[in-house]
Chains A and B, each alone.
Chain A
Amino acid sequence: MNVEKVTGSLIAALLLAAIGASGALAQADQDKQLYEAAKKEGQVSWYSGILTQQICDEVGQAFTAKYPGIQVSAIKTTSQVAFQRLLQDLKAGAVQSDVFTSTDIGHLIYLKSKGELVHFVPPAEKGMVKALQNVDPDGDFHTSWVGLAALLYNTKKVSAAEAPKDWPDLTDPKWKDQIAFGSPNYSGMVGVWTVAMEDRYGWDYFKKLNQLDPLIGRSIDDAVTVLNSGEREVAMGNPASALRSAAKGNPIAVNYPTSGTLMVISPSAVIKGSKHPNAAKLFMEFLADKEYSQILAKNLEQPLRADVPPPAGAKSLADIKLFAPTPQQIVKQLPPNKEKWRDTFGM
């Protein structure tokens, strides 16, 4: 269906209206054809840079339950490792993964520029929260996970009234020796955060932070550990890991910044030349569909769809003020930002 290429536009709306009910029937028919073709392939292999191995396995089992006869082999590593493996596979001409998911959108942009991706738009993407649709205007890769960057604090040491409400509040001198965050040199999420903050407040933002002697970890999730141990009181971090820890009773809370929570999209794509291309497409469809978002919510991650309620304590993506730099902006600004970061923080 050509429609997918021009979603969101007026033409698309008109066409959709024109096709109407017969279109929906055609869609169901297409799904069935895809499933039949996928069933012949029997399995799909997924290199995942997102979630945990356990959640990835849960996704795989749910997929097999929905589409009997197709096994999922999910391999969770860090995105860098998944990407390295994929590059080696491509070099050796033996592609092992059908679907590749990375927290680093740059990986997908690179693969797309090399012509290594299969163009496929999962029909279910239309049900995702608007901000998550069309992450690639050409429809070669699609949102599978959303990382958020928000403000976290230790509730034993900081009252809700005192806690920072918006990004500039972190630079308040009262947080001297009490701030924690990750490094753009080790975490793509933190990298995007530097792009976003520089955009809004200029690089001075980080110079001010440096004067308060922050504890700089590696990943965005390190913040949860140092907040729990009481070593630090406030942090920039990922609400999902904070809420997971808080759900057990840990003294951690999230403030979604008033001026906007930073959103980092982790996309997936079907790799060209893979052994199970149809199963791969079907799996992409599954990642855009309702069951997958329900699994996310169950594991205290942000669901991608508005028709799946968010986990307890979290807000729905539809209700949070979100903002995100464009992929182009990230690709262009991130490398120099890492250099600036080293100059400012010395690491």
Chain B
Amino acid sequence: MSLAPAPQMPGLPAPAARRRGIGRARLDPASLVWIGAAAILAFLVLAPVLRLTAASFQSADTGGFTVANYLAAYASERRLVALGTSLLYAVAVTAVAIGFAVPIAWAIARTDMPLKGVIRATILGAFITPPYLGAIGWILLAGPNAGWINLAWMRLTGAQAGIVNVYTFGGLVFVTALYAFPYVFVFTTDALDRVSTEMEEAANILGARPLRTIFRITLPLVLPAILGGAIVVFLDTVALFGTPAIIALPARINIATLQLWQFFEFPVRAEEAAAYAVPLIAVTVAMFALQRLILGRKGYVALTGKGGGRQLVQLGALRWAALAFCLLICAFSVFLPFAALAQAAFSKAWGLGFSLGNLTLDNFRYLFAEASNRQTILNTFSYAAGTACLSVGLALIVAYVVSRRLVRGGAILTALCMVPLVIPGIVLAIGFYAVYAPPPLALYGTAAILILGYSTRFLPIAYVNCLAGLRALNPEMEEAVRILGGSQLRAVGSVVVPLLKKGLVGSWLLVFIPATRELSTAIFLVTAKTRVVSTMILDLSENGNFELLAALGFFLLGVTVLIVLAGYRLLGRDFMLRRS
């Protein structure tokens, strides 16, 4: 039996002890690479964050030390309530996102449900959709006065009022979760793909009912991945601005990022904004403490030197029920809102509604007719690709150092890696700009400044994913390389990377996709030649050019789905995981 959680294996030392053994005994020159990478990373993350923390203690006028910013930032009851509401909002979104993602992930990785490819591609489509655009789609669908769903309901039943209202707390949570759940989905399917089904089969043979197998065996095995995804969703939601600006504000739900934005209206109080955001770092630390508590001392080593098989659960007629659930979520997140947006993207004037005379492809044509638009689109994808490579590379190195305990203070490195996600983009962006733009780096106006900023911002996502992957990987295979005389670099290059190939591609996509839609960092760092799609979307929305905006949304969706499908095809199936 190769797949038992390590602590249950009799006669073997606890994995933690063994890992420490390798690290201490064989610190070879390659360690310098790790330590160097960790140092670069510390600089990338620490410099902006420290700058930010320092600003929170600085007087705006004199630059001297003060706690006045904190006092001013928290003086109003409204701001305190907003922080509380934000936490509640993030918890609710995380719960709903898990509810959407885990069943779909299980159905795709473990059952004979049909149309898996379509579902997978659609979910990645939901991921690429800028939450801003998805939220507008949902306003068109579920607006109380003119939402399609409400109009249809009133027409069908003759009722005077609609049945759904997007401008509520429930509506806000639902719409946010629709564009956040792909994080949990990618983490979970990746883990399920990696873990073989032998233990589940064993449980079945021993007479466990299917549900019991799921809850006692399958889910606990991938718990670190689910938690990792949940943490990303939680932190992402705490720092989210777009969806709340469109839904929470009209619904008059007061949350922290909406408060935060107000610091930047006249009179500008950037220092107070920093003070208001700094405690969110504590939230990140708390998240990881919680994760530790839940995972406890259990081991989750599921991938060892001996390959395991995959046996799909035969769902029978139930597979149609599973498909229905998946399609429903896909409809909510992509099909329905994009149908609503299609009315704008293919219209001359979207306010006129559907009619043949109103149909046009001009919006799409215009997107490509302008050289600057083409440049912007090209920039977006190349920066996102650069970001994904850089942050996954760094994350893998640091996650390896931490999981194999090559250096002391792994917890600090982890906290460092996670902090950028929770600090709202607009505040973090000021830190980036302050560090990267002036000399000695003087990166102002270059693509590098955007790639560095994005890489720092999305490092947490890559890191959580790499760490979850490495936790599931038994160090015995690396030990084998070392025993046979290979270097540590070789152990990583020839064993870890190939084994985690699929997971790494997953991480790459997890960074690539949000990087294509990242706005708050971008608006601070772009210049005339380095413009990106997200800033273009903002421009279009400020200009009231909704037709072009929707067309751009469609284009992004199409391109990303293609990239993702090509990626999966290129990679193929991981032979290590197949039953021979």
Q: Which of A's residues lie within 8 Å of B, judged by CB?
A: 52-54, 57, 73-78, 80-81, 83-85, 87-89, 91-94, 96, 104, 106-107, 110, 154, 156, 177-178, 183-186, 188, 191, 215-219, 221, 224-232, 241-242, 244-245, 248-252, 331, 334-335, 338, 342, 345-347
Contact = CB atoms under 8 A, between A and B. Distances in A.
Contact of B146 (A74, A93, A229, A242): A229
A342 B78 contact: yes
A231 B264 contact: no
B138 to A, nearest CB: 11
Interface stretch (B17-25, B99-107, B111-119, B526-534): B526-534
Contact of B433 (A85, A186, A345): A85
A225 B344 CA distance: 11
Interface string B516-555: 0000000110111101000110111111111100000000
A230 B528 contact: no
A59 B439 CA distance: 30
B528 A229 contact: no
Nearest to A343: B78
Contact of A244 (B370, B433, B544): B544
Nearest to B151: A230
Given A89-B437, A94-B439, A248-B348, A84 B270 contact: yes
Contacts of B261: 185-186
A225 B546 contact: yes
B198 to A, nearest CB: 54
Contacts of B433: 84-85, 88
A183 B270 contact: no
Contact of B372 (A54, A186, A221, A331): A54
A80 B140 contact: no
A329 to B, nearest CB: 13
A84 B430 contact: yes
Given A84-B524, A244-B545, A188 B351 contact: no
Interface residues of B, number: 61
Contacts of A177: 144-145
Contacts of B437: 88-89, 92, 94, 96
Contacts of A221: 541-544
B493 interface: no
A215 B264 CA distance: 23
Contacts of A183: 249
A334 B266 contact: yes
A53 B351 contact: no
Contacts of B527: 73, 75
Given A84-B270, A229-B140, A191 B265 contact: yes
B344 to A, nearest CB: 8
B542 A231 contact: no
Given A78-B523, A89-B437, A228-B546, A106 B266 contact: yes
A346 B252 contact: yes
B139 A250 contact: no
Contact of A186 (B252, B262, B370): B262
Nearest to A187: B265
B524 A156 contact: no
B265 A87 contact: no
Contact of B536 (A53, A84, A188): A53
Given A84-B268, A94-B439, 4 more contacts: A52-B542, A185-B262, A226-B139, A335-B267
A245 to B, nearest CB: 5
A347 B252 contact: yes
B357 to A, nearest CB: 10
Nearest to B253: A347
Given A96-B444, A219-B542, A244-B544, A228 B267 contact: no
Contacts of A215: 167, 250
A106 B267 contact: yes
21 contacts: A53-B372, A53-B536, A53-B539, A54-B370, A77-B523, A78-B523, A84-B268, A87-B270, A96-B445, A106-B266, A186-B245, A218-B245, A219-B542, A225-B544, A226-B139, A229-B146, A244-B545, A245-B351, A249-B351, A251-B351, A334-B266
B430 A88 contact: yes
Nearest to B147: A231
Contacts of B250: 215-217
B352 interface: yes
Contact of A85 (B524, B538, B544): B524
A248 B547 contact: yes
A53 B540 CA distance: 9
Given A88-B434, A94-B437, A228-B350, A191 B528 contact: no
Nearest to B340: A229
Lowest 3 CB-CB distances: which A-B pairs, in order? A249-B349, A92-B438, A228-B351
A232 B351 contact: no
A224 B265 contact: no
B143 interface: yes
Given A80-B268, A94-B437, A335-B267, A241 B136 contact: no
B446 interface: no
B254 interface: yes
Interface in B212-267: 245-246, 249-250, 252, 254, 258, 261-262, 264-267
Nearest to A224: B544
A250 B434 contact: no
B143 A188 contact: no
B66 interface: no
A188 to B, nearest CB: 6
A188 B547 CA distance: 26
A70 B322 CA distance: 63
A347 B544 contact: no
Interface string B350-374: 1110000010000000000010100
A241 B543 contact: yes
Given A75-B527, A154-B351, A185 B265 contact: yes
Contacts of A251: 349, 351-352
A92 B434 contact: yes
Contacts of B540: 52
Contacts of A338: 262, 265
A101 to B, nearest CB: 15
Given A73-B528, A84-B270, A230 B146 contact: yes
B352 A81 contact: no
Most buried by B among A77, A185, A229: A229
